[in-house]
Each structure stands twice: as C-alpha cells, then as structure tokens.
Structure 1
Amino acid sequence: MIYITGDTHGDINRFFDGGALDTKLTKNDTLIVCGDFGFVWFDESNPVGFNQDNDKLDRLSYKPYTILFVDGNHENHDRLSKFPEVEKYGSTVHKIRDNIYHLERGRIYTIEGKTFFTFGGAYSIDKYMRQEGISWWSGEIPNDEEYKRGIKAIKNADYKVDYIITHTCPSEIIKMYLHHIPDPHDGELTGFFDYLMYEVDFKCWFFGHWHTDDYFKVPMRGKTKKFRALLFDVVNIEEYEEVKYDEY
C-alpha cells in the first residue's frame, strides 16, 4: 500500500513515539513525503549536525517500510546530489539508505503499478534569514535541464499519469484555494505547474510546502481535478483512485 504525507523537516518524532508516522506500515508498504524531508541537512563542515543526521537516517533505516521523498526548498541540495544514483521504479533515484530514496525532478516512476510524476523544489521566502551553503542552497530552484526532462517525460507518457507529487503547487491553486499571493521568485516553477495542471490527466496531485492539510476539487475543462495539500495527515492513496468528472 502507498501512503503520502507532508513536510517532515527532519523531525524524527514524527516517525517514533506515537508520532503521526509511527504507524503499523509493513515491509509491503511505501510512504512518500512531499518535500522538506529535512534529514539530509548538515554536511561534514558541521560534524555534530552531520552525525546527528546520519543517526536519524540510520534509525529510519530500521523501519520495515520504504520511505520516498521529493525534495523541498528546505533541503541541503548539494549534499543530496552526492548520494549514489540507482535504477529503481523505472527511472533513477538517489539512494539514501536501503529503504530511503530521493525521487528526482522531472521523472516518472512506477510504484505498485501506479505512475507518479515527481518534481521537487520551491523558493524559500525566508531566504533573507539564511546563509548560503549553511541553511540555504540555490538548488532549491529547478534548472533548465530538469524542466526539459520533465516536459519530455510527460510527453512520452502522452500527458497522462496516475499521480503528481511536488513540494509546492500551481499558482492558480495558491491564489484561488490557498488564498496566498504567489511569490514572483517562484513564478517559473508554479507557472510550469499551471501548465501541467491543464495539460496532464491525473487522479490526484499531492503537495506539501504550505503547512496545511486540505483537499481541493478543481473544475477544469469539464472535469474535476483533485489536489491534496499535506502536512501532518498521512493518507492512503487508494482513497484517491476513483476519478469522477461530475463532482461540481
């Protein structure tokens, strides 16, 4: 079974001691985190933090289920990119531990027979409070190669996947449903998501970033498209399997 949740921000308590992710998931289950995983943060320049990260990842490696995540804006993208790339789910992933993998931007993966388009990243509005290479990394914003890879993957899939997993979301969702003003620094990414929102057929789009748990049914070209914002909720993907076009 596949479960999805929102930003974990390196909080190990979410996974243990009765936390939201201290669940009865088994070795046959998969958990997907919608960005800001946060357990890959410090590098060797901070030995204490680096060792703490590794201790947390080692603890997570004892979980019986598989943990997958797209990257958010609050990640050490430099360190993340140094993990080995391996073939898994029909494309490449970064292997963090034997049961922990980073789902790359612009890839389509097949997990338990379902297809997922993944595209992490977002702009940090708190960038002014952070220090580059210490608490902020420029890799939070996708590059041209990642956009091109994503477009190619979607075209090759004939503009149809089962699910989309991102960190942030389309600008129209930000404005009309989350009631925020999209940051112009994020405009290229959220604009790209607007394009996907209209052009791609999908059962549900899951995202984090906005620190809310909510569900939106969006009327669009005679269809209803589903969007699920996640933070603490842990949802079973089977709840979003059925697609209806007459819900509005």
Structure 2
Amino acid sequence: MIYYVGDIHGRVDDVAAIDRAAIKAGVEVVVQVGDFGIRWAKNCPIVKYFKKRERQQRPGPTWYTCGGNHDNWPEWARLQKEQGNGKMVELAPGCNYVVRGATTKLDGKTHLFFGGAESIDKSLRVEGTTWWAEETPSAAEFQRFFDSLVEDAPEIIITHEAPLCVELNRTGRGTQPTPRNLQNALKHSKHTPERWYFGHHHILQSWVVNNIDFHCCGFHGEYQSSWGGLYDVGPGANQSRLHADADGEPHLDHALQGSQVEAYEEIIELHKTYGGD
C-alpha cells in the first residue's frame, strides 16, 4: 500500500506524523504531490528529520515527491547535477525527488511524476528567495511527460496540478500553462492511466473523469491511500476524515469532540482563507 500525501509546505511535524501512521499500517512508500518545502532554505528541518531518522536507524517509509510551485527548483536542479541521476534526486536520506517526466515502479505499479504549477501569489513573493520561475515546466519537460505517458503506459500519474478536465473553481486556471498542457497531453495520448494523484488545491476529494480516478490529496497532514482511504494526521486529527463536498466546501465525515473539533475548524478556516495555489 502507498500513502499519497498532499502539500506540506515545510511542516516537519506533518512529515513525522505521516511516518508514524505509515509505520503503524505497514506502509513502505509515501508519495508526496508537491509543495513539500524540503530544502526551501538552509538548515531545513525536514532534511534534519530524515538525517536523524537514518542516523538513529529508525524505521520509516521511503518518500518520493514530484515537487510543486512552492518548492526550491534551482536547489533541486543543483542536487540533480551533483548526483548525476537523470531520473531521481536524493533530497535527504530516504526522501527523493522524481524528475519531471520520469517513471518509477512503486508497489508493482508504474508511476509517472511531473511536478510544478503556477503561483497566483507570486507578486507577493521574492524571486530567488520565496518564488522561482522554474515552477512552470519547460516545453521540453512537457514533451518528456507526453513521451513517457505514451511509451511507458503508467498506471499511476503523480502531478502537483491537475489537467483541466478536473473541474476546479480557481480563478485564471484555464489560462495557466500547466493544467492546459497536462490536458493536451492526456487528450492526444492513446493511453489511459488508472489513477491520477495531485495536490495544489488543498482539498481531499476524488473524481472519475473519462474513466480515470482523480484524487486531490489535501494539505498539511492529509493524504489518500492506494486502497481509497482519506486521512488527516494533522493537529488533533486522530486519523479522522476531512474532505470536500461536491461544491468544494470541506466538511467533517463524523462527529468529533473537544480539541479535535477546534483543530478541524482551524484547518477548514485555513482552507477557506488560503485556498489553493
């Protein structure tokens, strides 16, 4: 079984909580769908966590990420050049970035990875410090994604953004390069993947579109499993489910009490305020 984890934004406590949940469930692979925040800046707490996990020989799943719009792409490119691997980059011990358009087999299924998206808040950020132009894939990278989709026939696709066929109420999304080009690749490919996992929009929700199961993996401790469960191991979550209604409004699946209710209300308010992107 695999856990498909939503946007983390550098929150090391969420990484540790997901590790604990994975160990308890016997899960050996975690796939993170971008906006990880690992190596965002020097002295990254997530890197320290994985190094400590290795040093202490603690158990834990192997992590893989596609990268999002809020990730430090130049730093990841530097590591890729340093390591000389065209498909996979070690970001920390037991934590890897799968290069755009590369495939790897996980739990018996071929996964095609393709990170990146467009930030709607880039005017509020500082280029080279909190925003990088490489968030949008290049034409060559989009071509590699299409070629891998056709030639490798992956069962599973991992992206940060979703193609336009997944209808999400986000201003300007229809004109952004990444969702448009993902849609074009899907349209012109004769291969139909089984499942497609993505992040960016900060909701736990699933759709079936053109015989493909699409899954948005939430954020800040939320994740989906390869057998269909939706979970949140964020503050006070206690493995309870939080997902979005058809209208995009998040709600609790069942009654919670005390601090759990407060924690979930905080998550919902953050979702409404922060939105996605």
TM bin (shorter chain): 0.7 to 0.9
| 1:41-80 paired onto structure 2 within 5 Å | 41-42=40-41, 49-50=42-43, 52=45, 54-59=47-52, 61=54, 62=58, 64-80=60-76
Q: Contact conserved, 2:50 with 2:93, CA < 8 A, in 1?
A: no
SS in 2 for 1:193: helix
Cα deviations by residue, 1:114-163 (Å, 9 ceiling, x for unpaired) = 11111100111110010011111111010122122222222322xx3211
Q: Does 1:235 align with 2:224?
A: yes
| 1:102-121 paired onto structure 2 within 5 Å | 102-121=97-116
Q: Contact conserved, 1:171 with 1:182, CA < 8 A, in 2?
A: no
Cα deviations by residue, 1:197-236 (Å, 9 ceiling, x for unpaired) = 3433111110000011101112x3xxx2211011143222
1:60 and 1:143 map into 2 onto residues whose CA distance is: 35
Q: Contact conserved, 1:32 with 1:67, CA < 8 A, in 2?
A: yes
Corresponding residue pairs, total: 219
Q: Does 1:202 align with 2:165?
A: no
* Corresponding residue of 1:243: none
Cα deviations by residue, 1:165-218 (Å, 9 ceiling, x for unpaired) = 000111231xx3x222343662x2211211233433111110000011101112
1:114 and 1:168 map into 2 onto residues whose CA distance is: 21
- TM-score for the superposition, normalised by structure 1: 0.79
The one-letter code matched in structure 1 to 2:203 is T
| 1:118-197 paired onto structure 2 within 5 Å | 118-157=113-152, 160-173=153-166, 176=167, 178-183=168-173, 186=176, 188-197=177-186
* Corresponding residue of 2:207: 216
- How far is the alpha carbon of 1:63 from its aligned partner? 5.0
CA RMSD in angstroms comes to 2.4
Report sequence identity in percent: 24
Moved over 6 A (4+): none
SS in 1 for 2:71: coil
Structure 2: runs of 5+ lacking an equivalent: 230-277
- How far is the alpha carbon of 1:25 from its aligned partner? 2.3
Q: Contact conserved, 1:41 with 1:53, CA < 8 A, in 2?
A: no
1:108 and 1:196 map into 2 onto residues whose CA distance is: 16
- TM-score for the superposition, normalised by structure 2: 0.71
